[in-house]
Each structure stands twice: as structure tokens, then as C-alpha cells.
A and B are shown apart, each in its own frame.
Chain A
Amino acid sequence: MSRRTKTLLRYTLLLLIAAISIGPFLWQLSTALKGAGENIYSVPPSFLPAEPTGGNFTRVGEVLPVWGYVWNSVRVALATVVLNVVGASLAGYALARLRFRGRRAALSVFVLALLVPGEAVMVALFLMMRSVNLHDTLVAVVLPGMVGALNVLLMYNAFGAQPRELDEAAMIDGADAWQRFTRVALPSVKGTVAVVAIFAFMGAWDDFLWPLIVLSDPANYTLTVGLEYLRGTFVGDQRLIAAGTIIAVAPLIALFFSLQRYFFRGVNEGAVKG
């Protein structure tokens, strides 16, 4: 095979797979932009809307409080990010850089927590939230994911990889643990902090099962649960469902396109998350 044919073959394959990866999103966007007068079931299918309209995006906001769901998801995701970044970096630093009795026991708590899948404790978690009257609140949505054990271990690894000398020099200069953490250690693990923040955001924004279980009042729904509700309520109207899914996925795609390298890094650092 000549070099030229090889390149041609390679790019043909690349284009084909790109079409398979992105095509479904584009088809959904196309459906969302088709007006009520346009037949979305035509055979053969028409890929481009004849008269693109944003009407479905307005209409989906009228039939359901979609923008309220967006706001709920934003609050849940931001709270999850802040709690994970703060909780995981504090704990990771203590485990990697402070010496104390019980360090190993503390470390094993996080490893054990990592082995318990969320799906296996959701029933008990729901009972817990009920017993403290937090069920059907956004607080209950956030709490179980507030500090992921995996994130603690990621930060522990990042701090552990720093040269000891940095810490020891600061110690000799009389810096206490808090000062060493904020001024010496934290600034040099920004990359891992970004990975933790991005994956916490994505996890919270995309989560479905737990909010589905713990939320019951439609006013409290997050976007994913709201989308499922939308589907159940307006089973026939694919245009509205399409508009809703575009609203849900667009912010993440924007985030991904601007911060790609952290997404790729995160996959490898957290492969065990599955």
C-alpha cells in the first residue's frame, strides 16, 4: 500500500468515526431547530431544517420550568465542585504531608469508601435523608457526592509526588501546616485541582439515578431528571425533547472544548472510577 492510499484510508476512517460520534448530536440539534410545520418523520429524512427556528427552545421553557432545572443543576454542580476541591485537597495534603498516628487507618477509610458503589447504598442513603428530613431537597442531592474518595486519593497522589525538600524548607522557616498547605503545596498541584473540579462538575451535572430517587417535587428537579419528566409529559413532541437535551448538553460541550487537556488527564488519573 502506498503512503498516499494509507493516508487516504486513515482519513476516511477518521471522518466516518467522527460522523458516528458527532452525528447523533447534530441530528438532535437539527430536530430542535425544525418548526412545528416541518415534518420531522419524513422518508428519506431531511438533515437540515427547512426554516430553522429557535421556537422550540422558548416553548420548552413554557411547558416546563426548564430554566429553573438549569439553575438547580448549576447550584448542585457548583456546590459539588467547591466541596470536592476543598475537602479532597485538605485531606490529600494531610495524608501525604503530615505525620500522625492513624494516618494509615484514615487512608484505608477512603480506599474502602471507593469500593462501595453508589448504587449499592442508595436505598440506605435515601432512608438517611428521609430520617433527617432532607429528602426532596437539593442539599440531599449534593451531600453523598460532597467529597469523592477517589478525589481524595488523587490529591494524595499529587501531594505525595511533590519533592519533600519544599515542605521541609518551609517547616524550617517556621511555617505551620496551614501555611505550608496554602502557600507551598497547593499552588504546585493546580493541574490536579483542575481535574478534580472538572470531573466533580461533570459528575454532578450528568448524575441521574440519585436525584431521581431523592427528589419528588417536580419544582426541585435537576436538569437530567427534568428531561426524563419532559419526555414522560410530552411523549409525542420530539422537537421539545430535542431542545431540552441540547440545553442540557451544550454547556458541557463548551466546557470540554475549552478545557480538553484536563478532561483527558482526568480519565487517566481516575481510571478506576469506571
Chain B
Amino acid sequence: MTALAPAVRRRAPRMQGAATPWLFLAPALAAAVAFSLYPFANTVLLAFTDARTLSPGTFTGTDNFVRMVEDHRFWLALRNGGLYVLGVVPPLVLLPLLLALLVRDKGPGVGVFRTLFYTPVIASAVVVGLIWTWLLDSRGLVNGTLQALGAISGPVPFLTDEYLLLASAMLVTVWKGLGYYMVIYLATLDRVPKELHEAAQVDGAGAVRRFLVVTLPAMRTTMALISVLSAVAAFRVFTEVFILSGDTAGPGGRDITLVMLIREVSSGLDGNVGYASALSLVLFALTLFLLLAVLRLQSGASAPGRAGAAGRGRR
């Protein structure tokens, strides 16, 4: 390889000490190893022990995983994660596309609308959760309005019913995520060649038909990307459910999520760190599976400037 490299390339090593690149890399590399890879390796080890917060524990084989299978709260958390995926992925794939179509074309004030639609994204999930806790309170704005309209006789138990609470948390997740995915769609819409639309128009296709035959097929990769991104986020949900349920995980703790369970099991001086680590591995496996799908999608439909393209330019 060196023999084939042009003269300019071979000069590079002379312009820098051998240690230079590693000095540049040191802070970031140290952070990635110390706060991601090392703790992950440690999580794998701990998952096979009975470690507690204050004691390192001993090797217990697959005990933690056996316990997991018998733990009804683990199954509840998985069920809630699955419900969450089913509840938030379809609206988060479809609604932001409609928003993007509404704010794509220039028009008076459209830029302002784009900004307003994005505002929920920047707020912390805690703030958003507290805002909606108040909106959905038994004496909050939503119940108050419904009552004033005579639509209901008593308040709807948005935050105290097992399923309504979960649905409310999903609503908050969707509300907070719409603007984020809208921006991703806007970037993709910019790349749909105008000629395609014009050609379809010449062929006599109406707006709906043009959407179905031109826009939608061009959005397929982005839609798949957003499905995966929102599904990963759904399995990792914590704050929305935590805040809306007031740290109780709902009536009888039946709205618990995997991350809530991990936190609860591991907290306190006698926290069961071993079992929590085993649960963490399940969370990792679920998200890894979906993240690998994302990486595949991105390298398949890589836009200029992404990692793949940059890497090719240098070879």
C-alpha cells in the first residue's frame, strides 16, 4: 500500500510525530472507552453475578436470567414496551410526513409554522411530562373543556387507569416527536427531483395521485429509518411514563417500562445490581437489533457527506 501511495501522502508521517494523532484522539477515546465500552463489559460480567450496590457478589451463572423469566414485572415491562412501539411508531411515521408537506412550500408565515411545530422537541421530557400531567389532570384543561362541552359527566381517568395512562404517555411522546421527524422528512423531500412531479402532472395525475406515485415511493427509506428510530426510542422510554405516573409506574405498577424496572431494581444501597445488569443486557439486545437495521439503511441509501461517503473519498 505504501509503495502505491503518491509522494505527497508519504510525506505526512514526517510532518507529525507518531504520538500526535493519539494526542488528538486521547480525550474522545478515553471517554468512549471509560463511559461506554468499559461499563458495557462490566454490565455483561455483572449480569452473571449476585452483586449488590455495596458488595461485588459472586458468579451465579444464569440465575439472573432464570429469575427474569419468572419475574412478572419483566413481562409487564416487555408488554408495555411492545404496546409503546405499536402505539407511537405509526403516528410518528405518518403525521410528520403530513406536517412536512404542509410546511414545505413557500408561503407567507410558513417558516414561522415550521418553527412552532418544532418547539416541543427542544423542551425536556420532564417539562413536557409535567405540562401534560397538568393538562390531563382530573381537574385539568382537557377534562375541564370536555365537561364544559357536556361531552362527559365525570373526569376521564387519563393518569390513573392502566391503559389510559400508557396511551397518555404515548400521546406525549408523539406530540414531542412530531417536529423532529418532520425535519428529517423535509430534508428528504428536498431531494425528490421536481421533474418527477412535473412529468406526473403532464400525464394528468392529480395531487393525491402524485403523492401516491411520486412522493411516497421516494420517502420509503426515510419512513423505514423513522420507524426504526422511533421504535428504539419507544423501547427505551422512561421519562414520560415516570412523570405522568408520578413515579409509581401506574396503578399496581402495571405501567412499568424496562428502564424504570432497571432503575428500581438497582437503586438503594442494597440494589440488586446483578439482576439490573441482566435486564440492561436485554435492553441492549433489543436496541442493538434495531440500530443495526438503521446502520444498514443508512449505508444503503447514504447521502453525500455521511460516514460512508467520507470514508470512500480517502481510500
Contact = CB atoms under 8 A, between A and B. Distances in A.
A1 to B, nearest CB: 9
Contacts of A238: 134, 137
A95 B25 contact: yes
B24 A123 contact: no
Nearest to B110: A14
A208 B239 contact: yes
A127 interface: yes
Interface in B212-257: 225, 229-230, 232-233, 236, 238-239, 243, 246-247
B160 interface: no
Contacts of B298: 272
B135 A119 contact: no
Given A24-B132, A208-B124, A109 B37 contact: yes
B39 A125 contact: yes
B36 A168 contact: no
Contact of A227 (B127, B187, B262, B307): B127
Contacts of B27: 83, 86-87, 90-91, 146-147
B39 A121 contact: yes
Interface string A89-120: 01101111011100100100110110111011
A13 interface: yes
- How many B residues touch the partner, as a band? 35 or more
Contacts of A157: 305-307, 310
A38 interface: no
A93 B22 CA distance: 11
A95 B134 CA distance: 48
A7 B27 CA distance: 53
Contacts of B186: 264
Contact of B283 (A13, A24, A117): A117
Contacts of A94: 20-22, 24-25
Interface residues of A, number: 106
Contacts of B137: 238
A264 B266 CA distance: 37
A255 B121 CA distance: 13
B21 A103 contact: yes
A142 to B, nearest CB: 11
B127 A119 contact: no
11 contacts: A17-B117, A20-B175, A21-B179, A45-B145, A117-B232, A121-B35, A121-B43, A124-B40, A213-B267, A231-B243, A232-B246
Interface of A: 7, 10, 13-14, 17-18, 20-22, 24-25, 27-28, 31, 41-45, 83, 86-88, 90-91, 93-96, 98-100, 103, 106, 109-110, 112-113, 115-117, 119-128, 130, 143-147, 149, 152-153, 156-157, 160-161, 168, 171, 174-178, 181, 202, 205-209, 212-213, 224, 227-228, 231-232, 235, 238, 241-242, 244-245, 248-249, 252-253, 255-257, 260, 263-264, 267-268, 271-272, 274
Pick the 9 closest A-B CB pairs, nearest first.
A160-B310, A91-B28, A44-B148, A206-B124, A94-B24, A124-B39, A113-B36, A121-B39, A113-B32
